[in-house]
Amino acid sequence: MSAEAVPTPRDHRRAFLWAGGAILLWGTLAAGVGDALQGLRASTLVVWSLGFAAATLVALDRLVAARKPDGAARPWRPWASRGQAAGLLALGAWGILGYHALFFAALDRAPIVEANLLNYLWPLLMVLLAPLIAREALTGATLTGALVGFAGAALVVTQGRWRPPAAEHALGYAMAATAALAWATFSLGLRRAGAAAEGRMTPFVVVSFALAVPLAVALDGPAALAPPGGRALAATAWLGVGPMAVAFHCWGRALALGDATRLGLLTYLDPLLSTLAVAWWLGEPLTRASWAGMGLIVVGAAGPAVLRARQRPSA
């Protein structure tokens, strides 16, 4: 599908299925990162999780290539020009390496509650920036849904106990907000690129991994490349294979098929699933604030779609 093509109803259904798979996997990201960061440098986690992600995506590509010997949908197929290749690879490095390096560092430098809340700005930013970057219309219903969904995410993450941010955590907060901007603009950039970016997650992750190695050494020295051990290794491997490799593939397919503003609303299910995963992993009961926030998230994600469905027959 070209960058200017209008998605069909079938494309939207397929996009929501691909996006749903990505969101289910991303729901385990917070629990996995929290587990892996215990006694592990953020830079080390970035390098090794990207390494696992790159290896997984390369293996998946080989399986796809074996089933499609005609070369269809191969991520390393030539770009239209060197300029296009450089631009897309830069976009991939910004979205993959930039987002995870910033987010992991933010969790190290600021309280998880506040940093996580700022990270959940990305679906709202995606909806708000879609008209500018992806050239998609922003309706009142979509904007309202985005704001309601963000209110629900804030309630889930803070549990209704918001505290004024401390000045010593300012750098961590800035990193979390920039991470949110990185993922929102990356997702919209993929949507705008259309077919040229479709199926390119493997090159994006491989390039990000190659850049992450010298970056980690520059920040924390050669010790940053030391492999994690025990439970941290298991958590890092899961992050690379699931929430990163497979989820990246699913999200890239969703953005190639669907409407970025609608998918941006659907992503508000992520904090809901993340909260459930953390509650199960840590054995903590869900509070009233969690249930209320989840309700707002569902309303914010589903409300605009329901309104569109009701308005269609009279159009």
Write the pLDDT tens digit of every residue in 275-310.
777 777 756 667 788 788 878 877 876 676 656 555
Residue 158 lies in a domain: yes
Which pLDDT does position 94 carry in this prediction? 96
Whether pLDDT at 259 is above 80:
no
By C-alpha distance, which of 262, 239, 117 is closest to 179?
Answer: 117
Residue 94 lies in a domain: yes
Residue 22 lies in a domain: yes
Residue 251 lies in a domain: yes
Residue-wise pLDDT for 90-101, tens only, equals: 999 999 999 999
Residue 4 lies in a domain: no
Contact 142, 276 (CB under 8 A): no
When divided into structural domains, the chain yields a total of 1
Q: How many residues does the chain have?
A: 315
Whether pLDDT at 233 is above 80:
yes
Mean pLDDT for 105-125 is 80
Residue 1 lies in a domain: no
Which pLDDT does position 209 carry in this prediction? 97
Checking 204-207 for CB contacts under 8 A at 24+ apart, the result is 204/88, 204/89, 204/91, 204/92, 204/93, 204/95, 204/96, 204/248, 205/50, 205/53, 205/54, 205/57, 205/92, 205/96, 205/244, 205/245, 205/248, 206/54, 206/57, 206/58, 207/89, 207/92, 207/93
Residue 180 lies in a domain: yes
Which pLDDT does position 186 carry in this prediction? 92
Most trustworthy range by pLDDT among 119-128, 192-201, 231-240:
231-240
Structure-model confidence comparison of residues 243 and 192, the more confident one: 243
Residue 40 lies in a domain: yes
Confidence of residue 160 (pLDDT cuts 50, 70, 90): confident
Its domain, for residue 305, covers 9-314
